[in-house]
Structure 1
Amino acid sequence: MSRRSVWLILLLAAVALRLPDIGNPLIDVDEQMYLLVGERMWAGALPYVDIWDRKPIGLFLIAAAANGVGEPWVTYHLLALAAAAATAGIIAGFARRHAGPAGALAAGLLYLVWIALLGGRGGQSPVFYNLLIAGAAWLVAETIAGRRRGGVAAMLLVGLALQIKPTVVFEGVYFALALLAVRWRREPWPASLRAALLYGGAALLPTVVAATVYVAAGHGEAWWFANVESILLRRPTPGDAIALRMLGVIVVLLVPAGLAIAGLVRRKQGFLIGWVAAAVIGWLLVPPYFNHYALPLLLPFAVAAAAVLDRPAMRWLAALAGAALLLLSGYPHLGETRAARDAVAGLAARIEALRRRAPGCLFVVEAPPVLYSASRSCLPTRYPFPFHLVEASEAGAIGTDPTAEVARILATRPPVIAVGDIARNRRRPTVILVRRALAARYRRVTSNTGVDLFELAN
């Protein structure tokens, strides 16, 4: 099987798996925030200053690019499709080092299927940064084997990935150590030291560039708080079902993890063993274990699994398990995208009509932030991601008192408030404030997809 055929099959598989979800504005709440930030960047808003989130700037630049061409949701999901297909292609190429063509192709398909099962149907951040980490891992393996000198390029890819999600630091450190271990054996220590500095510099370069831009603009403190301090200030949510969520992820991962372990036993690849270990450690150290947090694990799992996917019986096992889990997950999600688009359009039209009656900005509370974009509303706060002002884990981590911020917003008498209902947050101070204001001054006008719209009555 030619390389071109493998890439074509993987592209077609990516299209088949992801096409039903392209343009779905409700597929994931995180994506809604990314695209909202990207949209407001075109209007001159500066992330961390005018509109706040703690994600690195690279993710917002991707979202801004999607807002610059065509319909943002469609463009964003097409970019995610391209990233997923390209990642699968690199996995297949990497796997050819220790597997035949059939096993390598199956490894790429394994990745595409299981990211759809773990929250990667749309454009969650790992869908994009996995592409960079896959390229970095391949370059590291090639450099270790002496086939090319790609260490600096690999670490630069890691650095770019860090500007999409900082958790790639675990794999990045492992890649650097793997490169240095080889150089240490082959070269005198001064050369190894220079290499270490070069690798570190390449990995840090994109972050240094981002920080420098903010410092030059006079917003270095805002950049530091959002990208560093706020991450460390987050706390676990009391009563959060972390263990149950983690168990669910482990169940979904049983097949790829089992195949990866079998592949590592069959072909004792030292670099792959270390990569799997680094990815697992990184996952374990970053609760609360939402399903998409496990997406980076699928990269080394798929590459390692290729060694046993050469066997037809193992390919059938993976295919049957993947098909069963896809069907259980609701694939192909017929009508879901259309229903979501209609729901958002209906709510947005009602919001626009209500805002024409009274000036002011929509206020979204525990509801989809896509409503800000869809209704073309101004933002009542620099913290438009609804859960930053509600969740207990965020109370001391966003740089302001959420209760005071919500009280300030309510004092402006927003003409429309879009409200959801999450049971665990009903006793949160900000939610209580909102409910009191709704009871005193607002009336409910419509409800759709778990969102109630209230208009100012007096």
Structure 2
Amino acid sequence: MKKLFPSTLYTSGPIRNGLVFLLFTLLAFFLRYPSFGYTAIDWDEITYSLIGEGWLQGKLPFRDLWDIKPIGIYIIYFIIHGLLGFSIFAIRLSTLFVVVCSAFIIWLLLRHSNRTFAIAAGFGFLILFSFFLNGLSGNTELFYLCFETIGVWFLFYGKKQYRLLSPLAFGFAFIIKYNTAFDILGFYLLHLYLHRRILFRNPKSFLGYSLFYSVAILPFLVSTIWVFSVGLGDSFLETHKILFSNYAKKVTFLEKIGSLQTYPILAILVSVQMGTFVLYLWKKKVPKILLISFLWTLTAFLAATWTGYFFEHYYLPMIVPTVIGSSFLFRFIKSNFFPKYKQEIIVLIAFLILIPVAVFVRKRVIKLSKVYPDIAKEIYVDIENQKVDPRPVFVAKGTHGIYSLFKQIPINRVIQPGNFTDQSNAKAMFIDNEEIKLKVIENKPGLILFCDMDVFQNPISSYDASWNQDLLVFYYEYIRKEYQYFKTYFPNCHVYLKNGLLSR
């Protein structure tokens, strides 16, 4: 048994830490590698990628390339493409590193209070995160979750001289996505509660705690000062006006609770965690990390549902606290029913359960390309086979992952096509139709991608009120006059090439 589980896994030191990190990396690579060649698992990741690469090319976010997300995610992709180049592979490699870091912090958080299942919890997190389609993408949740786990570690368990890293990590999480405020506030309130005796003995110490917590605002202040100093203030304020006025949808609290039934695996985990918390509460011996994870799940749920939209990736941050909390059920079972079993045997049993689950999840990831065809890549290959260079390309409607394959920044300021072709989105986002028309006319794209409606086959009367009528009439007339249809494998995504391009 010692050969299977070296003593270095259970003793302190850099060798042990490095070995655990390596194990997590190998599992993450095993699970996620089949998705590395997929162009756009989620359209948001392509938006961030294009803005990050555009920034490297001198096109500033908010002004030259626009979306409504906070600046932190653009900084992340600015760094990714600056270090690894402008490619889909760079995104996939970065997401692998980030989820491994999150798993490693989970292990750090559990290694003292639930040592037997700490590694298994890290493995469980990697498996669950890869099970969800959006868990494979480079979305905001994946990155801010890593910063949050780092912040939790330094706030509740870090050495005193490094504790300032906690609010800084929370601050970076906040500028990636603002709904992290729910989690951060919850962590701070719990931290105050755990230090209540100090506060009661010395009420003036509250000022020191407040100053410490306020460090979290520094990343936002610094980034905002930079935004205004380079003349992006108006565009920056425009995005925040949209974000806080037009974006949220009104739903009841019961509807939010009911949204969990859409994700049954997560709902089961939440139920297990809550039941486990009640068990330990009944025993009057609640470990600190179990209490943290309980509150974290509640705040993560509030963050996931605050907009009223129940997208899968909104719920992904709940995986970390639910995995941490659920792991204590196994500790409870072991200590109460199998106390004589050695730690190594229990770990072996846990791994024998997790390994086939990991194989199942990997097979599910492999099926990704079959269930969700890589439309952008297929179209790109078809164009490449014609030995023509259609750049600049323009996505009027459909997958904008094709920009990444052609190594091109969009010609238009608004990145996501769904924001200007859908009437409700165009209205909510204050889309300037004339600006988009002008960009198309000036740049004369060699390829226009237009999904959901074939302008050569469908009459203009086919457009209903859900479309941005003014802009779509322009597309209809412009494409019919200047372009020819290029047949691809996908009947619902239509490619139009500039007249004469194929004859060159």
Q: TM-score interval w.r.t. the shorter chain? A: 0.7 to 0.9
* Residues 1:428 and 2:441 aligned together: no
Larger CA Rg, structure 1 vs 2? 2
Counting only pairs closer than 5 Å after superposition, residues 94-113 of structure 1 correspond to structure 2 as: 94-101=109-116, 103-113=117-127
Residues of 2 paired with 1:327 and 1:18: CA distance?
Answer: 7
Correspondence for 2:419 among 370, 378, 388 = 388
Question: In the alignment, which residue of structure 2 is the partner of 1:251?
Answer: 264
State the alpha-carbon separation in 1 of the partners of residues 424 and 148 from structure 2: 29
CA contact (8 A) 2:379 2:488 kept: no
1:142 touches 1:150 (CA, 8 Å); kept in 2?
no
CA distance in 2: counterparts of 1:337 and 1:70, whole angstroms: 26
Q: Is the 8 A contact 2:151 2:167 kept in 1?
A: yes
Which of 297, 305, 318 is equivalent to 1:276?
297
Question: Is the 2:377–2:402 Cα contact (8 Å) retained in structure 1?
Answer: no
- The alignment status of 1:346 with 2:346, answered yes or no, reads no
For these two proteins, the number of residue pairs brought into alignment is: 444
What SS is found at the alignment partner of 1:51? coil
Counterpart of 2:224 (choices 190, 208, 211) is: 211
Once the two structures are TM-superposed, the CA of residue 170 in structure 1 deviates from its matched residue by 0.7
Q: Following TM superposition, by how much is the alpha carbon of 1:428 offset from its aligned partner in structure 2, in angstroms?
A: 0.9
Distance change (3 Å), C-alpha of 1:382 and 1:261: same
Paired position in structure 1 for 2:246: 234
Matching of residue 178 in structure 1 with residue 217 in structure 2 = no
Instruction: Report the secondary structure of 1:120's partner residue.
Output: helix
**Structure 1 residue 49: deviation in Å?**
0.7
Deviation at 1:152, TM superposition (A): 3.3
Determine if the alignment matches structure 1 residue 75 to structure 2 residue 116. Answer: no
Residues 38-437 of structure 1: pairs in structure 2 closer than 5 A:
38-68=52-82, 69-70=84-85, 72-101=87-116, 103-118=117-132, 119-142=134-157, 148=160, 151-187=163-199, 188-200=202-214, 202-226=215-239, 228-235=240-247, 246=259, 249-267=262-280, 268=286, 269-310=290-331, 311=334, 315=350, 319=354, 322=357, 326=361, 329-331=364-366, 333=368, 342-343=377-378, 345-346=380-381, 349=384, 353=388, 355=390, 361-377=392-408, 379-401=410-432, 403-409=433-439, 412=442, 414-421=445-452, 427-430=466-469, 432-433=472-473, 434-435=475-476, 437=478
Q: Residues 129 and 135 of structure 2 are in contact (CA less than 8 Å); yes or no, is this contact kept in structure 1?
A: yes
Give the conservation status (yes or no) of the 8 Å contact 1:235–1:394.
Answer: no
| Alpha-carbon distance in 1 for matches of 2:104, 2:464 | 43
1:291, distance to aligned residue in structure 2 (A): 0.8
Aligned partner letter, 1:367? G
Counterpart Cα distance in 1 of 2:257 and 2:497: 38
Q: Following the alignment from structure 1 to structure 2, what is the Cα–Cα distance between the partners of residues 183 and 424?
A: 62
Tell me the TM-score normalised to structure 2 length.
Answer: 0.77
1:245 CA drift (Å) = 10
Displacement of 1:212: 0.7
CA distance in 2, matches of 1:148, 1:244: 39
* AA at the equivalent of 2:189: L
How much has 1:164 moved relative to structure 2? Answer: 1.6
> Counterpart of 2:484 in 1: which secondary structure?
strand
Paired residues of 2:276 and 2:325 also in contact (CA < 8 A): yes
Q: Is the alpha carbon distance of 1:199 and 1:244 closer, same or farther for their aligned partners in structure 2, counting shifts above 3 Å? A: closer
Contact 2:420 2:431 in 1 (8 A): no
User: Alignment partner of 2:315: what SS?
Assistant: helix
Query: Is contact 1:140-1:150 (8 Å) kept?
Result: no
User: Cα 1:391–1:245, aligned 2, differ >3 Å: closer, same or farther?
Assistant: farther
CA–CA separation in structure 2 for the residues paired with 1:337 and 1:283: 25
Q: Deviations over 1:7-36 (max 9, x none)?
A: 332221111111111242122211111111
For the residue of structure 1 that corresponds to 2:488, the secondary structure is strand
Residues 395 and 111 of structure 1, relative CA distance in 2, 3 Å threshold: same
Match of 1:230, SS?
Answer: helix
Gaps of 5+ in 2: 1-8, 11-15, 281-285, 335-345, 454-461
Cα distance in structure 2, aligned partners of 1:372 and 1:244: 38
Q: Residue 141 of structure 1 contacts residue 271 of structure 1 at CA under 8 Å; is this kept in 2? A: no
SS at match of 1:45: coil
**Structure-1 separation of matches of 2:279 and 2:257:** 32
What is the CA-CA distance between 1:84 and the residue it aligns to? 0.5
Cα distance change of structure 1 residues 20 and 376 upon mapping to structure 2, 3 Å threshold: closer
1:17 to 1:343, Cα distance in 2 relative to 1, 3 A: same
Q: TM-score, normalised by structure 1?
A: 0.84
For 1:100, give the aligned amino acid.
R
Q: Deviations over 1:357-406 (max 9, x none)?
A: xxxx43202222222232345633111321221235533443434x4444
- Contact persistence 2:248–2:306 (CA under 8 A): no
1:333 shift after superposition: 4.6
